[in-house]
Chain A
């Protein structure tokens, strides 16, 4: 086929679809920074970024609502179908996950303030640093994959989520050992536990975003499926071809 189908007959429709995508990316960028700063606040012992994170959380919430409103308008005005419909639905779902990542970053910031400068001498520092770096990469990986319609990139993020989950379990075992050995450490250990939990949840949300990439590109709804199932369904043999 020599015809070019990249553009809609309606130029405004192109503009609207482009807008939700780019607004989602901007929101993703902000959320990614929030997470990175939160991890920094915990691991460096410098709690000064925490206030900024808490303040900017409102921006994240506002962006979610605004983008969702744009998605609703597209549904109402254009009744999108096929890949356009999947794009609008996916953006609407992704901003929800981004908003929740923002919530988790805020939780980490609160804990950072609570434990103050003592955190850097606390437990599981290695795990926090490692998992924190990992989930930051996952968020940017998932958003990149979305922007480039890259199914393999998305699957890679899901693979990393498994590693984060393993790290999380190992860190929990470590914390339990500390608590058993010295019950006076329980208070601080619980704070660390909440932080680890928040980071682990961020990984889950990045995974959800990646699942939406697969939905947009291939049409397969791979939520709640295993990595193997996901790989099979993301690359069906009978993929749409000319």
Chain B
């Protein structure tokens, strides 16, 4: 049972120019329901932050958006998720190209045990995006530049990716994600394993990436949500409690649960 009966999300869960539309999404792990009837738009070129206490369903919801939950056998998703009006759970959908369109960056940087170059080139290669070697070089260079890593690694592209610092590894993972030219980037606590300087660099990068991509970020840091996002969605026990412009959420939240969470009264 949801903790609040017949809850209707407060605020503005819908967007005028949606890139992703989730409608009445319910997620179950076996018998246990993890998400209750969540409807939310993610607008084009918007950064939306998903916040809430541990176990509130924010990561589960994020993982629905590129069908990462398919990898968990007991997980069942119902409802509708549309990417540019195409149902991503449609029967004919192949998840491999889907995950190229909706890329993901994880909590812990996870470069492949390959060179920096090959990490970034991996996606374009397997998705058959390139015909010539020169083209591949261009994609790798551009992706590393967009991820703000090029100047730090251009002289050692063939060194192992795992030899980079944590912050650099995370930017390498972002470069790997954008190398396949996604439309949406999902980030699941991308800075939780990083120091403040590396975090600041990633946050700056998120702001730059917004020009070309739509971004949904799960974060435990409320200051981070306040810094990087335009809208903030607050999840609580599997329900989407409130979605509002970020500046409003952190000064005058609409729902008392949002208020209690962001002021540190539980969590």
Seen from chain A, the residues whose Cβ lies within 8 Å of a Cβ on chain B are 1, 3, 5-10, 13, 78-86, 218-219, 238, 240-242
Contacts and interface: CB of A to CB of B under 8 A. Distances in A.
B251 interface: yes
Interface residues of B, number: 21
Given A9-B266, A85-B251, 9 more contacts: A1-B256, A5-B256, A5-B260, A82-B250, A82-B251, A82-B262, A219-B251, A240-B253, A240-B254
Nearest to A86: B251
A240 B262 contact: no
B135 to A, nearest CB: 46
Nearest to B10: A240
Interface string B217-254: 00000110010000000000000000000000011111
A81 B256 contact: no
Contact of A8 (B223, B250, B256, B263): B263
Interface of B: 4, 222-223, 226, 250-260, 262-267
Contact of B263 (A82, A218, A219): A82
Contacts of B267: 9
A5 B250 contact: no
A236 to B, nearest CB: 10
Contacts, number: 59
A5 B253 contact: no
A40 to B, nearest CB: 42
A81 B254 contact: no
Given A79-B223, A82-B251, A219-B251, A3 B263 contact: no
Nearest to A7: B265
Contacts of B252: 82, 86, 218-219
Contacts of B263: 8, 80-84
A57 to B, nearest CB: 34
A194 B256 CA distance: 48
A5 to B, nearest CB: 4
Contacts of A79: 222-223
Tell me the dominant secondary structure on chain A's binding face.
Answer: loop
B221 to A, nearest CB: 10
A219 B226 CA distance: 17
Contacts of A240: 253-256, 259
A218 B251 CA distance: 10
B186 to A, nearest CB: 25
A162 B77 CA distance: 61
29 contacts: A1-B4, A1-B256, A1-B257, A5-B265, A7-B265, A8-B263, A9-B266, A9-B267, A10-B264, A13-B264, A78-B264, A79-B222, A79-B223, A80-B263, A81-B226, A81-B250, A81-B251, A81-B262, A81-B263, A82-B253, A82-B258, A82-B259, A82-B262, A83-B263, A238-B254, A240-B254, A240-B259, A241-B256, A242-B255
Contacts of A10: 264
A5 B250 CA distance: 17
A242 B256 contact: yes
A13 B7 CA distance: 31
- The listed residue with most B CB atoms (<10 A of its CB), out of A10, A82, A238, A241, is A82
- Most A Cβ at <10 Å: residue of B223, B264, B266: B264
Nearest to B256: A242
B265 A8 contact: yes
Of the listed residues A7, A8, A240, the one surrounded by the most CB atoms of chain B closer than 10 A to its CB is: A240
Nearest to A79: B223
A79 B226 CA distance: 11
